[in-house]
Structure 1
Amino acid sequence: MSKRGYHHGNLRQALVDAALVLIEQKGPTGFTLSEAAKTAGVTPAAVYRHFEGREDLIAEIARQGFEVFADLLDYAFESGQPSALASFEATGRAYLAFARKYPGHYIAMFESGISMQRTPELHQVATRALGVLERAAEHLSQQIPAENRPPPQMFAAHIWAMSHGVVELFARGTPGAKCPFPPEDLLETGIGIYLRGLGLIPQDTPEDT
């Protein structure tokens, strides 16, 4: 009789789902392929029919995460049209929402040490996702005089860094990290300060403070 694992309708995806649970519990380096196999209900040998090692499994999780991430960012960008500012702010909120809803994927994508260049498929979808941030930044930056305009890649990288920082420190319940303000408010006000510095939104007047 065949092993139980070979009766899975989609063993590859079952291993991905099992690894996601373990990543959320133990981090990207805190589990073995044997543990992933056990969680999925298959023999350890079955894993190697689909993945050469743990890094390959994590890379597949990252690829799937970037697929969802790209779709969410693209939807957020389009939902803000025709306002470049609304589209830009929407992509920032979508980043935070993704990290909260898909923590295992987020960890695999940004905290596992897996290179976005590891496979052509991963590189392609990661480039598509981060390209949405750059597109939003480029549209908004057109309102800045050319001589003062930062490159769209730098503009997007600043917002990416800000969003990632809020996620890391406050959005996922990091032990010891407490803040009296919701992560959404932290990100929105941080982006606001950044955009004011670039002259893209007006400075507060005394009546506003």
Structure 2
Amino acid sequence: MRVEVMPNSYNIDMTLLLRRYAGEGTIATMTSQPAPQRNVRDGMLAAAVALLHEHGPDALQTRKVAGAAGTSTMAVYTHFGGMRGLIAEVAEEGLRQFDAALTVPPTDDPVADLFVIGAAYRRYAIKHRHMYRLMFGSTSAHGINAPAHNVLTLTVAEIEQNYPSFAHVVRAVHRCMRAGRITAGSADDDGAVVATAAQFWASIHGFVMLELAGYCGDDGSAVLPVLGSMTSNLLVALGDSPKRVSQSMRSAMLGS
């Protein structure tokens, strides 16, 4: 059987890519394979992430990924079982990066922290729009979608362990409930905590998708009147006072 090695037609610096992702503690540490195999696997994953970022999901093709990584087309099947497995890993890598982007130092104001996390969420989605769409199923790569899971069936501890990016929102909401800023539902009821966090997630995701589509402009001018107001209104509906929400929002803006 002849194995075709593809040239790096996209001129991607694989050494730079691997160093970049290794520095973020992601690709270089995510497999226990022997070093030579791991380097090939990590290189293909880094190449696929770069192709998605620069050219969109249409670039996630076996030949293009192999060409960008300077390896054989067969390596996609050897290390990922095919493009479906590779695309799932690309989405997982995006979620790891998303988790890092949402990691902000907590303050003594959990509502302000929730606003800051929302701002970080939007920044990531705008900067990595192709990855964001792939992660959350609004786009596919040649008909292949990233896997999705029902987080509403999970406990807070399970979300912390398995969905660290969503855990940032869950954690902030849980703190708001314990502080009495959100009074709808009990802080001791995991189902209530997760469902409340999902309301904030749904709100910001909906806004981000509209913004990415151009319905809320492309200059960020809709963030305060739409996203900020929507988050504030939700907080008030869940039990906080308009005055305290406004103060927390100002604190978040000053600290961001």
Normalised-by-shorter TM-score class: 0.7 to 0.9
In the TM superposition, residue 136 of structure 1 has moved relative to its aligned partner by: 0.6
Q: Does 1:177 align with 2:215?
A: yes
Runs of 5+ consecutive residues of structure 1 not aligned to the other structure: 118-122, 205-209
Runs of 5+ consecutive residues of structure 2 not aligned to the other structure: 8-13, 16-38, 150-158, 187-191, 245-256
Distance 1:178 1:166, change over 3 A: closer
Letter of the 1:97 counterpart: R
Q: Does 1:115 align with 2:143?
A: no
With normalisation by structure 2, the TM-score equals 0.61
Instruction: Provide the aligned C-alpha RMSD in A.
Output: 3.3
Number of equivalences: 190
- C-alpha offsets along residues 133-152 of structure 1, whole Å, 9 cap, x if unaligned? 11111111231576x32711
CA distance in 2, matches of 1:12, 1:168: 32
**Structure 2 counterpart of 1:197:** 237
Letter of the 1:191 counterpart: T
- The 5 Å alignment of 1:127-138 reads 127-138=163-174
Distance 1:88 1:82, change over 3 A: same
CA distance in 2, matches of 1:141, 1:72: 24
Q: Are the aligned partners of 1:196 and 1:203 in contact in 2 as well (CA < 8 Å)?
A: no
In the TM superposition, residue 16 of structure 1 has moved relative to its aligned partner by: 2.2
Letter of the 2:176 counterpart: L
SS state of the match for residue 242, structure 2?
coil
SS state of the match for residue 107, structure 1?
helix
- C-alpha offsets along residues 43-93 of structure 1, whole Å, 9 cap, x if unaligned? 3123223211112112212222222222332x32xx341111111111111
Distance 1:16 1:103, change over 3 A: farther
- C-alpha offsets along residues 134-188 of structure 1, whole Å, 9 cap, x if unaligned? 1111111231576x32711111111111111122111x3x2x5343862532322
- The 5 Å alignment of 1:87-102 reads 87-102=113-128
With normalisation by structure 1, the TM-score equals 0.73
Distance 1:21 1:202, change over 3 A: same
Distance 1:115 1:131, change over 3 A: same
- The 5 Å alignment of 1:1-209 reads 10-24=39-53, 25-27=55-57, 31-73=60-102, 75-76=103-104, 79-111=105-137, 112=140, 113-116=145-148, 126-142=162-178, 143=180, 148-149=184-185, 151-170=192-211, 172=212, 174=213, 177-179=215-217, 182-185=221-224, 186-202=226-242
Q: Are the aligned partners of 1:59 and 1:108 in contact in 2 as well (CA < 8 Å)?
A: no
Q: Are the aligned partners of 1:37 and 1:43 in contact in 2 as well (CA < 8 Å)?
A: yes
